């Protein structure tokens, strides 16, 4: 008993310590900072109560950014989930080169967000005639477009959404494949004997079998959508600034409070706490919706 407890801590201890030091302490510290005027310091003395929260919650730009990304989440989460599930079903069904396809679709997940963003920005979607997408457009008689620079219509979303899908689909696909393989094959056989159509089998066997994974994928997606930073920053922003559109909340906080310019750590922390609460709230809501639909 004592020996197993010791083994437990030996294996779990380093992980728990890492989690404490690098996750929970910073979260706690950040919450602490959010109640102080913490300009350029992590050891503030000037307690300001809820002033930082009032400040971010009355800041139209911050609220605008949160609502933009609520809309973004409402679009990107179903899209990512549906496409990842479709890919998983396809890859799971094919008889030949299954490992090959699985690897090919998973590979982008191993690519750095920064690298992918730069490829999308400078090569695929560059605004000059010789950009890859503009070249393909040209074959069909299309006019070259400044994909990232065009505000009306907001073509930059095409760039941002495609790079995100390319980077993330593979990972969710793997989760779905793992779950698909856990569904017992005899259920399908029984359904087939009973004369169920493929659609019915999907609706009544596959989907219920994926339920746990589906909730996990949706939740991960949700957190990812609100915490968007890397590809947005690298495609639309630079050290000198970021346009006022398609600006994730974290990018906004980075420029105004946490980045190189203004180290207003109290206000930045308050914004981060608000964002965490929004994510928690939306996660709870989706969880509730799922439970009801059960």
Partner 1 sequence: MGAELNRRSFLVVAGLLGLAACGSDTGREGSAAGTLRHWYHAYGEDGVQDAVRRYAAAYPGAKVEVQWNPGDYDSKIVTALQNSAVPDVFEAQLKVDWVRQKQVVPLDDLLGDTRDDFVRTLLDSQTVDGKLYGIPQAIDTQILYYRPSLLEKAGVTPPKTLDELVEAVKRLDTGSVRGLFAGNDGGVAVLTGPLLWSAGLDFLSRDGKAPGFDDARAAMVFGKLRELNQGGLLLGSPTDWSDPGAFVNGLAAMQWTGLWNLPKITAALGGDVGVLPFPRLDMAGDESVPVGAYSAMVNARSADVAAAKAYVKWLWVEKTDYQTEFATAFGAHLPARQSLAAKTAQNGPGREVVEFVTRSGRIAAPARWSSRANLALSDAVSRIAREGADAAGELGTALDVARDEIARLDR
- List residues near partner 1 by CB under 8 A: 6, 10, 17, 39-43, 60-61, 122-123, 125-129, 131, 145-152, 238-245, 255-257, 259-264
Q: Which is nearer to partner 1, 50 or 114 (CB)?
A: 114
Residue 277 Cβ, how far from partner 1 at the closest point, in Å? 23
* Whole-angstrom distance, CA of residue 154 vs CA of residue 158: 8
Q: Which is nearer to partner 1, 170 or 268 (CB)?
A: 268
Residue 64 Cβ, how far from partner 1 at the closest point, in Å? 10
Q: Which of 64, 26, 55, 49 has its CA nearest to residue 257?
A: 55
Q: Is the dihedral of CA 209, 213, 217, 219 positive or negative?
A: positive
Q: Which residues pair with 238 in a beta bridge?
A: 241
Residue 56 Cβ, how far from partner 1 at the closest point, in Å? 12
Distance, CA of 186 to chain centre: 36
Residue 148 Cβ, how far from partner 1 at the closest point, in Å? 6
* Whole-angstrom distance, CA of residue 119 vs CA of residue 129: 16
How far is the CA of 89 from the CAs of 76, 168, 171, 175, 193, in angstroms? Answer: 20, 17, 14, 12, 21
List of E strands, 132-171: none
Q: Which is nearer to partner 1, 20 or 190 (CB)?
A: 20
Residue 107 Cβ, how far from partner 1 at the closest point, in Å? 25
Q: Which is nearer to partner 1, 6 or 182 (CB)?
A: 6
Q: Which is nearer to partner 1, 35 or 156 (CB)?
A: 156
- Cis bond upstream, residue 60 (ω within 30): no
Q: Which is nearer to partner 1, 129 or 189 (CB)?
A: 129
Q: Which is nearer to partner 1, 68 or 263 (CB)?
A: 263
The half-sphere exposure of 197 on its side-chain side, counting CA atoms within 13 A, is 3
Residue 6 Cβ, how far from partner 1 at the closest point, in Å? 7
Q: Which is nearer to partner 1, 75 or 245 (CB)?
A: 245
Report the 10 Å Cβ neighbour count for 129: 11
* Whole-angstrom distance, CA of residue 121 vs CA of residue 207: 37
Residue 111 Cβ, how far from partner 1 at the closest point, in Å? 20
CA torsion 20→22→26→27, rounded to 10°? Answer: -60
Report the 10 Å Cβ neighbour count for 50: 11
Residue 149 Cβ, how far from partner 1 at the closest point, in Å? 3
């Amino acid at each position: 008993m004592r020996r197993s407890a010791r083994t437990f801590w030996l294996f779990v201890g380093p992980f728990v310590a890492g989690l404490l030091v690098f996750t929970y302490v910073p979260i706690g510290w950040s919450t602490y900072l959010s109640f102080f005027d913490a300009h350029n310091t992590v050891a503030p003395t000037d307690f300001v109560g809820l002033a930082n929260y009032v400040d971010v919650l009355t800041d139209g730009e911050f609220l605008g950014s949160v609502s933009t990304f609520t809309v973004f989440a409402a679009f990107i989460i179903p899209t990512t989930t549906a496409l990842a599930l479709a890919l998983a079903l396809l890859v799971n069904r094919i008889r030949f080169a299954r490992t090959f396809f699985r690897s090919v679709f998973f590979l982008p997940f191993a690519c750095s967000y920064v690298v992918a963003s730069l490829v999308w920005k400078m090569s695929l979607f560059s605004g000059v005639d010789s950009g890859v997408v503009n070249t393909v457009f040209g074959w069909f008689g299309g006019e070259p477009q400044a994909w990232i620079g065009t505000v009306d219509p907001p073509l930059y979303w095409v760039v941002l959404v495609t790079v995100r899908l390319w980077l993330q689909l593979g990972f969710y696909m793997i989760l779905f494949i793992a779950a698909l393989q856990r569904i017992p094959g005899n259920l399908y056989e029984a359904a087939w004997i009973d004369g169920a159509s493929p659609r019915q089998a999907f609706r009544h066997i596959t989907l219920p079998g994926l339920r746990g994974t589906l909730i996990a994928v949706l939740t991960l997606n949700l957190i990812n959508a609100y915490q968007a930073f890397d590809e947005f920053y690298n495609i639309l922003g630079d050290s000198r600034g970021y346009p006022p559109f398609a600006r994730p909340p974290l990018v906004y906080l980075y420029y105004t409070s946490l980045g190189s310019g203004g180290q207003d750590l109290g206000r930045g922390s308050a914004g981060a706490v608000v964002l965490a609460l929004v994510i928690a709230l939306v996660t709870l809501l989706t969880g509730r919706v799922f439970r009801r639909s059960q």
